[in-house]
């Protein structure tokens, strides 16, 4: 056309292609041989299909989307032929189930990861629900010079048949509302800091460090300090040393040997232990459940929770109608509103 909109079909051998294009935004759909305006192939890999634009683009499929690099020669299979993708998912679920069983046997916190992943797998088979499946036999990579965000209203599963590596150029931070569990089945675990100190705290409960065999505490270039507010007890084989209330008590069922070059008894003395303070944490929490007038949980309902300071916490309820748990340092009132349509701070009172 006069504006250079074009639909071109080429049957010449070695140049077979279809080109649908408009100059606006240089938007094009190229099929077959990807050629330039001179009908010369654009690069050694210039064949297949290309959908491109200098403007915006969107891919939308209301019933689900399957993106695959698995070969389907001569278009011989079905549109949603995803056997390779499903096989990979099922293999990953099997691995998660095996490791979860081992962790449970070792008294580590068991998870529902394999059950959750299994339900996800079942819903994605043949795209029975509106989801997105990506599959490639030789790898998938995503890259950006800026930031990436991965989010899920419910669960995120990362399962690797080989190694799983995480590297950070600066800081690595992980937060969990409830618990953090790490389990290594066969080759041990390491936590090392090349520079700076290592801190481990149980801020509101006990701490346990257990070993089946020997346990060693070493300071290579400093001292080891053990301090307790109430009592220190060292015990083995029935013998013990108890330090409590400024007193030292020794007891044993057999003999006591004291081997030394000299022995002095002097007047009373004391030393103050370095009792490091524990920072205050948020002690209160509340969780809402959205119910319909009939009393049934509202699944996948959008909501906003507002505290007395006007802070807003947005989210979507889970399968049981539960909102995210909100933690606060002090006891305070919270309000929850279900969101219908567009939310603004001025109209939240009309959204419940």
pLDDT for residue 349 = 40
Q: In what order do the strands lie in the sheet with 231-236?
A: 231-236, 239-244, 247-251
pLDDT for residue 350 = 36
Average of per-residue pLDDT across 90-113 = 74
pTM here is 0.67
CB atoms within 10 A of CB 340: 11
Q: Where are the domains of the chain?
A: 6-58, 63-71+79-125, 284-342
pLDDT for residue 346 = 45
Q: Show the tokens assigned to 41.
A: 């192939």
- Percent of the chain clearing pLDDT 70 (strictly above): 86
Q: Please say whether the dihedral angle defined by the alpha carbons of residues 306, 307, 312 and 315, taken in this order, is positive or negative.
A: negative
What is the per-residue pLDDT across 321-345, written as a single tens digit (0 to 9) for each?
Answer: 888 888 777 788 888 998 876 555 4
Q: What is the largest CA-CA distance in the chain?
A: 109
Q: What is the chain's length?
A: 352
List, as one string, the DSSP characters of 276-292: PPPPP---EEE--B-B-
Q: How far apart are CA 35 and CA 10, in angstroms?
A: 11
pLDDT for residue 26 = 92
List, as one string, the DSSP characters of 46-106: -EEEEEE-SS------TT-EEEE-S--GGG-S-TT--HHHHHHHHHHHHHHHHHHHHHHHT
CA-closest candidate to residue 43, choices 33, 30, 54:
33
pLDDT for residue 80 = 85
Q: Average pLDDT over the chain, rounded to whole?
A: 84
Of 30-39, 237-246, 307-316, the least confident: 30-39
Q: Please say whether the dihedral angle defined by the alpha carbons of residues 250, 252, 254 and 260, taken in this order, is positive or negative.
A: negative
pLDDT for residue 182 = 86
């Amino acid at each position: 056309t006069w504006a250079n909109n074009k639909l071109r079909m080429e049957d010449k051998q070695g140049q077979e292609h279809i080109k649908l294009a408009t100059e606006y935004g240089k938007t094009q759909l190229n099929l077959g041989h990807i050629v330039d305006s001179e009908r010369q192939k654009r690069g050694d890999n210039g064949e297949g299909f290309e959908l491109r634009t200098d403007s915006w683009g969107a891919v939308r499929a209301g019933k689900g989307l399957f993106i695959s690099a698995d070969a389907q020669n001569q278009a011989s299979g079905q549109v949603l032929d995803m056997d390779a993708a499903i096989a990979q998912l099922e293999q990953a679920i099997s691995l998660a189930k095996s490791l979860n069983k081992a962790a449970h046997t070792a008294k580590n916190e068991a998870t529902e990861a394999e059950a959750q992943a299994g339900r996800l797998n079942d819903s994605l088979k043949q795209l029975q629900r509106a989801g997105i499946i990506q599959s490639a036999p030789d790898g998938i990579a995503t890259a950006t010079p800026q930031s990436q965000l991965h989010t899920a209203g419910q669960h995120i599963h990362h399962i690797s048949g080989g190694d799983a590596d995480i590297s950070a150029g600066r800081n690595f931070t992980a937060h969990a509302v409830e618990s953090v569990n790490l389990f290594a089945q066969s080759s041990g675990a390491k936590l090392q800091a090349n520079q700076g100190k290592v801190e481990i705290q149980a801020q509101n409960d006990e701490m346990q460090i257990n070993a089946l065999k020997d346990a060693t505490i070493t300071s290579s270039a400093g001292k080891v300090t053990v301090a307790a507010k109430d009592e220190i007890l060292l015990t083995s084989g029935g013998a013990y040393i108890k330090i409590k209330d400024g007193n030292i008590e020794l007891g044993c069922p057999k003999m006591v040997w004291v081997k030394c070059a000299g022995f002095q008894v002097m007047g009373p003395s004391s030393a103050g232990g370095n009792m490091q303070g524990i920072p205050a944490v948020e002690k209160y929490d509340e969780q809402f459940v959205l119910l319909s007038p009939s009393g049934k949980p509202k699944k996948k309902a959008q909501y906003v929770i507002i505290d007395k300071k006007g802070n807003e916490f947005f989210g979507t309820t889970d399968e049981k109608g539960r909102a995210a748990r909100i933690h606060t340092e002090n006891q305070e009132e919270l309000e929850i509103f279900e969101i219908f349509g567009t939310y603004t701070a001025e109209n939240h009172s009309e959204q419940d």
